């Protein structure tokens, strides 16, 4: 027996999961994704990564601005899915949609629930210095990321892990686990376990102000921010009014006045505790380059203060 599935997702993180379901013996009736956006200075209309991939698979795509309208609920009922899979869709599903009879809504969430419910679970795990994270597949309920969990699987976070790397691993893991989850449901072996509410931690959305470096933090804290926010929105400081994004750095056992250059040959900057050696960066409007390349045309003075 194969399921008729509606898939709801938007960013590239969701694409491997969509691909895995499409390659299974189950049928994707329709893909829901966020409406196309205008991008960059040319304001070119751009589809989401999921939208583009669904087009390649010749799967119908629907991009409603809201799911609250009665017409949207009726449309959903009329296509009669057996299961709905949601992966970083970017919209809260209304209760009247979730209440459609005999229909399970599964969410693939990028954390080990109940830790890091919310919008930025991967980034918050790295920022907090967690040693592990993982994927949780859960039943969606009206409360944010609070539904009972069907499957979880762990991934390690080491001192060099950045958002881009761990996100790719988690997406691939989610692609494997969703097939296992669907099989459990199909064979009536699904056991949804309630979350422990006493262990809930929320992963609030990353605000733009968080990406600016505060040199009064320790080098370890700033490094965690560099890893958590790479590649977007990135972690940056200002030099002579120009924004410079750090993409790779390391902690060094040196000290000095916070936010000052203490080694002009290697681009080492003092923090509250220890110092940060910049290894790779991106100057505003320029391409990614090594600190060595950058220093060839941009000289610093020891004691120079960075904003």
Asked whether the predicted pLDDT for residue 299 surpasses 90, the reply is: no
How confident is the model at residue 43, as a pLDDT? 66
How confident is the model at residue 42, as a pLDDT? 59
How confident is the model at residue 41, as a pLDDT? 59
Contacts of 238 (CB under 8 A, 6+ apart): 244, 306, 307
**Counting beta carbons within 10 angstroms of the beta carbon of residue 71, is it exposed (0 to 12), middle (13 to 18) or buried (19 or more)?**
exposed
**Three-state secondary-structure class, residue 76:** helix
pLDDT of 197-232, one tens digit each? 999 999 999 999 999 999 999 999 999 999 999 998
307 confidence band (pLDDT: 50, 70, 90): confident
pLDDT of 85-116, one tens digit each? 999 999 999 999 999 999 999 999 999 999 99
How confident is the model at residue 240, as a pLDDT? 82
Asked whether the predicted pLDDT for residue 295 surpasses 80, the reply is: yes
Asked whether the predicted pLDDT for residue 73 surpasses 80, the reply is: yes
How confident is the model at residue 274, as a pLDDT? 97
Residues 108-133 have a mean pLDDT of: 97
Asked whether the predicted pLDDT for residue 38 surpasses 80, the reply is: no
Dihedrals phi, psi of 98, to nearest 5 degrees = -65, -20
Rounded to two decimals, the pTM is 0.93
User: Which tokens belong to 264?
Assistant: 């002009």
**Three-state secondary-structure class, residue 9:** strand
Residues 30-43 have a mean pLDDT of: 82
CATH 3.90.1150.10 fits 4-203, yes or no: no
Distance CA 146, CA 156 (A): 23
Choose between 61 and 265: higher pLDDT: 61
Contacts of 13 (CB under 8 A, 6+ apart): 87, 88, 110, 167, 170, 171
The end-to-end CA distance of the chain, in Å, is 61
How confident is the model at residue 298, as a pLDDT? 83
How confident is the model at residue 285, as a pLDDT? 86
Q: Which long-range contacts (C-beta less than 8 Å, at least 24 apart) are formed by 166-170?
A: 166/122, 166/126, 166/133, 167/13, 167/110, 167/122, 170/13, 170/110, 170/122, 170/133, 170/134, 170/135
How confident is the model at residue 227, as a pLDDT? 97
User: Which tokens belong to 163?
Assistant: 């958002």
The CATH number of domain 209-297, selected from 3.40.190.290, 3.10.25.10, 3.40.630.30, 3.30.590.10: 3.10.25.10
When mean pLDDT is compared across 43-52, 102-111, 114-123, 183-192, the lowest value belongs to: 43-52
Which residue bears the tokens 């890893």?
A: 227
Asked whether the predicted pLDDT for residue 264 surpasses 90, the reply is: no
How confident is the model at residue 40, as a pLDDT? 62
Residue ranges covered by each domain of the chain: 4-203, 209-297
Residue 284 C-alpha from the chain's centroid: 23
Asked whether the predicted pLDDT for residue 195 surpasses 80, the reply is: yes
| pLDDT above 70: percentage of residues in the chain | 98
Distance CA 183, CA 2 (A): 10
Give the ranges where 60-129 is alpha helix by DSSP (H). Answer: 70-79, 95-98, 121-128
């Amino acid at each position: 027996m194969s399921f008729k599935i509606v898939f709801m997702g938007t960013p590239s993180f969701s694409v491997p999961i969509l691909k895995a379901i499409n390659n299974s013996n189950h049928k994707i009736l329709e893909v829901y994704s966020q409406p196309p956006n205008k991008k960059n200075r040319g304001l070119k209309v751009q589809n989401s990564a999921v939208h583009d991939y669904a087009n390649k698979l010749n799967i119908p795509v629907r991009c409603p601005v809201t799911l609250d309208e009665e017409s949207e609920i009726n449309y959903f009922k009329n296509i009669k899915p057996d299961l709905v899979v949601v992966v970083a869709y970017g919209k809260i599903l209304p209760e009247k949609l979730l209440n459609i009879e005999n229909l399970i809504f599964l969410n693939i969430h990028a954390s080990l629930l109940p830790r890091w419910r919310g919008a930025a679970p991967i980034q918050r795990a790295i920022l907090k210095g967690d040693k592990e994270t993982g994927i949780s597949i859960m039943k969606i309920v009206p409360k944010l990321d609070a539904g009972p969990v069907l499957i979880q699987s762990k991934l390690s976070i080491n001192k060099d892990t950045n958002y881009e790397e761990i996100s790719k691993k988690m997406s691939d893991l989610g692609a494997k686990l969703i097939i296992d989850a669907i099989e459990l449901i199909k064979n009536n072996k699904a056991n949804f376990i309630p979350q422990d509410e006493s262990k809930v931690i929320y992963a609030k959305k990353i605000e733009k102000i968080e990406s600016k470096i505060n040199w009064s933090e320790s080098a370890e804290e700033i490094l965690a921010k560099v890893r958590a926010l790479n590649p977007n929105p990135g972690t940056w400081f200002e030099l002579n009014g120009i924004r410079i994004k750090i993409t790779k750095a390391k902690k060094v056992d040196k000290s000095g006045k916070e936010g000052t250059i203490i080694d002009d040959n290697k681009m080492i900057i003092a923090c509250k505790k220890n110092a940060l050696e910049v290894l790779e960066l991106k100057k505003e409007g320029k391409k990614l380059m090594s600190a060595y390349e950058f220093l060839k045309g941009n000289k610093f003075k020891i004691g120079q203060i960075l904003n």
